[in-house]
Chain A
């Protein structure tokens, strides 16, 4: 059974620092991997989607890498801002269309 782990569980950084969020998964047979942001009491906002054949995706200050063979993905957020404070979820999609989510990393960016 696929297991997705996110480290660290919580992270607090001063504004301007770069954020590095880690995600690992046990089964490399994934269809894609997706990073989401979730604000308290809200739904999910998709940040980046990486197909299984891709190594990375970039959008603005966000960059996500994928190493399927080692079962790892990393989300980098450059020059963090207080508005980046949220919980970041990593999810892997299998060929049946089912997502397995990690527990998330709670990020606080202090002004």
Chain B
């Protein structure tokens, strides 16, 4: 199997503070990871593609200076929400790409619920 973990699973912070979320591939190496955001009763929206050793690629409308992504190793990507505001409250989910024999498959983390007061 392939396991992806996220830490923390939930976080509550005050408006204006920064929050870091970690995404780890536990039993495989992932050169590419993805970050998604899900608002209540909505589907997942891709925020950015995280590539090990290079800059992340952000989707249109996602502020790269607000959502800092670092993929410093083959098993860890971090998402930092800078100067968080209540509208950033959401469920953040990461996924990691695993290369199989004949195809690639993404495995998802359990998600991190961020609440900004």
Chain A interface (Cβ within 8 Å of chain B)?
31-32, 34, 36, 41-44, 46, 49, 51, 89, 91, 93, 96-104
Contacts and interface: CB of A to CB of B under 8 A. Distances in A.
Contacts, number: 49
A44 B43 contact: no
B54 interface: no
Contacts of A51: 103
Given A46-B107, A51-B103, A89-B43, 6 more contacts: A31-B104, A43-B108, A43-B109, A43-B111, A96-B49, A99-B95
Contact of B49 (A31, A49, A98): A98
A98 B46 contact: yes
A105 B104 CA distance: 26
Given A97-B34, A99-B106, A44 B46 contact: no
B63 interface: no
B97 interface: yes
Nearest to B105: A49
Looking at chain A's contact residues, the main secondary structure is strand
B44 interface: yes
Q: DSSP majority for the B interface?
A: strand
A41 B38 CA distance: 10
B32 interface: yes
Interface in B87-112: 91, 93, 95, 97, 103-111
Given A43-B110, A43-B111, A44-B108, A99 B46 contact: yes
Interface in B34-83: 34, 36, 42-46, 49
Contacts of B91: 41
B43 A32 contact: no
A97 B49 contact: yes
A99 B113 contact: no
Contacts of A49: 105
Contacts of B108: 36, 43-44, 46
